[in-house]
Amino acid sequence: MGVKADKIFVNLPVKDLNKTVDFFTSIGFEFNPQFTDENATCMVISEHIFVMLLVEPFFKTFTQKDIIDATKSTEAIIALSADSREKVDEIVNKALAAGGTPSKEPMDHGFMYSWSFQDIDGHLWELVYMDESAVNQN
């Protein structure tokens, strides 16, 4: 049996926690106040997926490596599933309206549709809808 985890916690450094919370709240995400203070907040993606948004000085206490400037370099793309093409468009449009920037144009592969944006700190987010019925035809 391989490695198995029940939950995922993605940790991202942010410059201004209040602005970041406002940005993601505008998109429709919620936060767990139990894990929120002046240094960090826990953004709830789903019952088992969380993003810890940590102000850069606090984030730095967890690593000896330099924090990259996410507006210039990329270490990860956070991809989230969506229920429909319309939901992909809705979330990305909300992100862009809230101050995010475009990352790539929408990609339509018929059975799969995706679109991405950069948050206000430059982190890359991709929303993906996949038509499971088209994939499971074999």
pLDDT at 1: 65
Q: Is 18 domain-assigned? A: yes
Domain that holds residue 52: 6-60
- Give the residue with greater pLDDT, 136 vs 7: 7
CATH number at residue 21: 3.10.180.10
d(CA 20, CA 41): 10
- Give dist(CA 120, CA 74) in Å, integer: 14
Is the same domain home to 98 and 55? Answer: no
Q: Is the pLDDT of residue 138 over 60?
A: no
Coil, helix or strand for 67?
A: coil
Instruction: Give the span between the Cα atoms of 127 and 90, in whole angstroms.
Output: 10
* 44 and 83 co-located in one domain: no
Residues 48 and 73 in one domain: no
User: Any idea which residue has 């490596």 for tokens?
Assistant: 65
Name the pLDDT band for 135 (thresholds 50, 70, 90).
Answer: low
Looking at residue 75, its pLDDT comes to 87
pLDDT in tens, 13-58: 999 999 999 999 999 999 999 999 999 999 999 999 999 999 999 9
Pair (44, 15) in one structural domain = yes
Say if residue 54 is in the same domain as residue 114. Answer: no
Same structural domain, 53 and 95: no
1 within a domain of the structure (yes/no)? no
